[in-house]
Chain A
Amino acid sequence: MTIEKNKLTGTIFNIQRFSLHDGPGIRTTVFFKGCPLRCIWCHNPESFDKSIQVTFDQEKCIECDICKGVRDISTSERCPANAIEVIGEEISVEDLYSEIEKDKGYYETSNGGVTFSGGEPLMQSEFLVKILKKCNENNIHTAVDTCGQASKEVFEKVNDLVDLYLYDMKFIDNDLHEKYTGSSNEKILENLKYLSDKNIRIFIRLPLIPGITDTEKNITEVVEYLKRINFEQINLLSYHGYAKNKYIKLGINVELDQLETISESRLEEIKNKFVSAGFKTVIGG
């Protein structure tokens, strides 16, 4: 018997078990590193860059000098106080699968599974295809949480392997999209239409950022747009707090000084708009 060892690796920055808000049931969410968008409200700025990053926390440092001032992957491993932190890891399909498989029993009881999120998982499509296949072979339900910014060919490669897309939507207005995410939404909307025509199972996810995505205009446009799309439900995501410290630690420019949480009443109002349009609408993931 020969087992071909797959040398292909992916770059991820977290594996979150017991995720309840990234699709149905109890799930393990794998966060891919690297993203084509730069949404200014992003919680996970560590997902922006695909490369592995090293951060240093002066407050944790106990000045043991084991690192001799060199802060990299190898000194991070030896750092007694975890002051040198590596963000991201290269992981093989096998190693990632063995982490995913650990909670298989919970997926079976709860009709859960694995969700590939990020960052943008479709940016590492070759790796994604391999890990999706592995999950498919082992009857693990798969979801891909995507911002939609990928080529049609990439979708074509993964469509048959994905049980559910969590498809993020921010703006219909292209100028606003460019302003707040750094990219045009042209391809994103095109891909959504394409998936919709293929009758693939989709949950739309709309982040509600006060004064940015929750405007009357944007909500109305999203509702109108979605009337032409086949999807199962829409999830309205409210954001709590802001990862400002993460930005500072990573040396990324802070564009949004503070992120307010949408009020309960506004959330209900928006929910009603989607419900009136006949959409199954869920608050939260």
Chain B
Amino acid sequence: MLTDRVQKLREQSLEAIPHIWIGRGEIVTDTYLKNEGKVSTPVLRALTFKDILEQKPICINDGELIVGEKGDSPAGAPTFPELCCHTKKDFDVMNHREKISFKVDKNAYKIHKNKIKPYWEKRSIRHKILETMSEEWMDAYEAGVFTEFMEQRAPGHTVADKKVFTKGFNHFKSEIRNSKEKFQAGSDPDKLDRIEQLKAMEITCDAIIRFAERHSEKALELASTEKDPQRKKELENIAEVCKYVPANAPRNFHEALQAYWFIHLGVTTELNTWDAFNPGRLDQHLQPFFEKGIKDGSLTKDSAYELLNLFWIKFNNQPAPPKVGFTLLESATYTDFANINSGGLTTDGSDAVNEMSYMVLDCIEEMRLLQPSSNIQLSEKNPDKFIERALHILKKGGGQPSIFNSDAVIQEMLNMGKSIEDARDGGTSGCVETGAFGKEAYILHGYFNLTKILDLTLHNGYDNFSEKQLSVGTGDAMFFGSFEELMSAFKEQLKYFIDIKIEGSNKIAEIYAETMPAPFLSVIIDDCISTGKDYNAGGARYNSSYIQGVGTGTITDSLSSIKQHVFDNERFTMQSMIQAIDDNFDGYEVLHSIVKNKTKKYGNDDDYPDSLMQEVFNAFYDSVNGRPNAIGGHYRINMLPTTSHVYFGSVIGATADGRKAGKPLSEGISPVQGADKKGPTAVLKSASKMDHLKTGGTLLNQKFTPQIFNDPKGVTAIKDLVRTYFKMNGHHLQFNVVNADTLRDAQLHPQSYGDLIVRVAGYSDYFNNLGSDLQDEIIERTEQCISI
């Protein structure tokens, strides 16, 4: 049961209006104006961090026990002009757009115009990136061949491990000092850089401690005038908690949550890292505090649960940084992808499900918030009761928690050379991305439009959308004599664009390493302290760079169609096929019917299309995996779209599977919407023919009618589906439990469906927050049901 306090704060969180808090932008500008050129870059970044935390308004909302906001108040979104300096038009768009809007007040416009923009316009990372990129990169980027994650958001995508729950910043400071002394005494060629980096880290430790103290002072100030004796006591307790953590290691459940929350605010204030930081394996971290509190009587189950609920609300108060341009198109959501894990395995490889795992699930069920996102890590060693509890929550719709194959996730990490302990302490974050929590920079570089590569292959490198010759010629497809010839041209085109993408990504990583270190984040990610290197410069123990493949279903079906109808059955020529797609099938009704109705399609456990999926996947893997990145690690692949499958579809003409021009592509590794006809067991079999263990994450969504979950045999069957998919090494599975009719009605009467949450890709969102193209795409997904 949610307490009155929780209900009230939850309501406030839901009602808070996303708005721009311009204060951060202003402080950053002041700090740079004062210090740039006078101190080293890491120290400049550390001073920026310090100034923001010293000057930003302190917000303690009425009734709160866990305190601290990223902006001035709930739903206040800071700007990061050093990364992306908005134009006035950007602000206008944000202020007025129908979906994912942010209110911009007059003062913000004024400060931005007079102070922020003049300084950052030509200095922001976005400006530098767009200046530095090659013409080929710009052309491909603008044509929608790929997106670029770091063009307006910093490399982040990392997660806390248990050290932030067992150590305080005073301790980190002593580690930093030791490391500094070691380098000072040694003769490392980069000695001076490392010492500067460590100096910067130390400044950020003091800054976060001071930030917590400011909350302590504010709480005491509020307590002094508080009339309600109960609230007065609470405020005094908050003051004590904030005085103690994160300077010191938390002593109890309340301090553990508050310590993490300050760190969360620190990471997401320092830079606008992609995929908000998150506490990772929260049930593992909290269980010792929970047990201790219950044992010494300082905590009850109810009080622990209330604190956990309040912790949830803090996440929901922080909308993702406002995005513009292509980045908005690939990730059109307020959700910032903090994705809390529960379950999985312990460091020594045994079943990790504990009492807190179930409490986290209770919290997900009752809070029903978009943020934080949440998932269960399901190992063969975890009990059925655990997944059944999760399915019971999914049954109500809302798409949380998602379900991950813990055993596969661990294997993926081992395949990338991580230690077994680091792998077991890891999990998944963002949408579906595998990572060694607390020890890895696993940086996403952008979505890659696989279907567009086929389109370019069919047009000899010419792009009908941007009307440009985008790449090398690989021969006129009209005259290809065999399917193999088409595939080899495709692979050549693929390699051409992957080369461009990787060259660009390396340059961008270098820009961040040189000009935008993240000393605070570096304090809490191993082994940045001991190496004296920044997180953005390869200081983490593991450094992985990901490129995310999009459109698996659409490209597979398109290839299958060409292979089947042009080369195997010779029903029509390549000329007619290309002409038909160029004309969006106008005047080609028969051909269109044939490719739509007669093509063997992915998702039906049919090796004919499924082997083509494997060929595309392997070509993508071979062209990316293992290539060195700019920060001492390697490029890897994963297969997920967020909302980019809609954007990527909008930049491609019709496709050979019968899809009309501009329509969304298939989502994740799911089949094309409606192409799978043989039920969920067949879909999962098809999907499992992809070698998930070669990736850092794949995303499979299935839409089920609520009737299945209401069927007495349904939940058990779904559990068995999941368990079987995971035995086949499937990485992730998620369900939308909703009827298409409900969604159609919600499109017509949005006012009656304000709280309808659906699973989009690796995250859930309010149906009303989605663009109509994305709404349609979800409606068209196959609805799995039980035959009678």
Task: Report A's interface with B, CB cutoff 8 A.
Answer: 16-21, 25-26, 43, 62, 64, 66, 80-82, 102-103, 105-106, 108-110, 112, 240, 284
Contact = CB atoms under 8 A, between A and B. Distances in A.
Contact of A18 (B589, B679, B716, B788): B679
B788 A105 contact: no
30 contacts: A16-B679, A16-B787, A18-B680, A18-B721, A19-B786, A20-B717, A21-B713, A21-B788, A25-B717, A25-B720, A43-B788, A62-B590, A62-B593, A64-B589, A80-B590, A80-B597, A81-B597, A82-B597, A82-B598, A102-B681, A102-B682, A102-B685, A103-B681, A103-B685, A106-B720, A106-B721, A109-B723, A109-B724, A110-B716, A240-B788
Interface string B591-628: 10110011000000100000000000000000000000
A158 B319 CA distance: 64
Contacts of A105: 724, 727-728
Of A21, A43, A105, most buried by chain B (CB within 10 Å of CB) is A105
B681 A21 contact: no
A21 B712 CA distance: 10
B667 to A, nearest CB: 21
B597 to A, nearest CB: 5
Given A17-B679, A26-B720, 17 more contacts: A17-B678, A17-B681, A19-B787, A20-B714, A21-B787, A26-B721, A62-B590, A62-B593, A81-B597, A82-B597, A82-B598, A102-B681, A109-B723, A109-B724, A110-B716, A112-B720, A284-B711
Interface in B439-498: none
B681 A18 contact: yes
Contacts of B594: 80
B720 A110 contact: yes
Contacts of A82: 597-598
Of B590, B786, B788, most buried by chain A (CB within 10 Å of CB) is B788
A21 B721 contact: no
A109 B727 CA distance: 9
Interface in B364-392: none
A80 B593 contact: yes
A155 to B, nearest CB: 27
Interface string B675-688: 00011111001000
B593 A81 contact: yes
Contacts of A103: 681, 685
B16 to A, nearest CB: 43
A19 B787 CA distance: 7
Nearest to A110: B720
Contact of B590 (A18, A43, A64, A106): A64
Nearest to A19: B787
What does DSSP make chain A's interface, helix, strand, loop or mixed?
loop
A79 to B, nearest CB: 8
Contacts of A16: 679, 787
A80 B571 CA distance: 11
A103 B717 CA distance: 13
A102 B610 CA distance: 14
A201 B418 CA distance: 52
B268 to A, nearest CB: 41
A20 B711 contact: yes
A66 B681 CA distance: 35
Across the A-B interface, give the 3 residue pairs with the lowest CB-CB distance, nearest first: A80-B593, A110-B720, A18-B679
Nearest to B688: A105
Contacts of B713: 20-21, 284
A57 to B, nearest CB: 12
B162 to A, nearest CB: 33
Nearest to A239: B788
Contacts of B727: 105, 109
Contacts of A21: 713, 786-788
Contacts of B591: 80
A26 B717 contact: yes
A102 to B, nearest CB: 5
A17 B682 CA distance: 8
A43 B787 CA distance: 12
B682 A110 contact: no
A86 to B, nearest CB: 14
Given A26-B717, A103-B681, A62 B788 contact: no
Contacts of A17: 678-679, 681-682
Nearest to B591: A80
Contact of A26 (B681, B711, B787): B681
Contacts of B680: 18
Contacts of B598: 80, 82
Nearest to A66: B590
B706 to A, nearest CB: 15
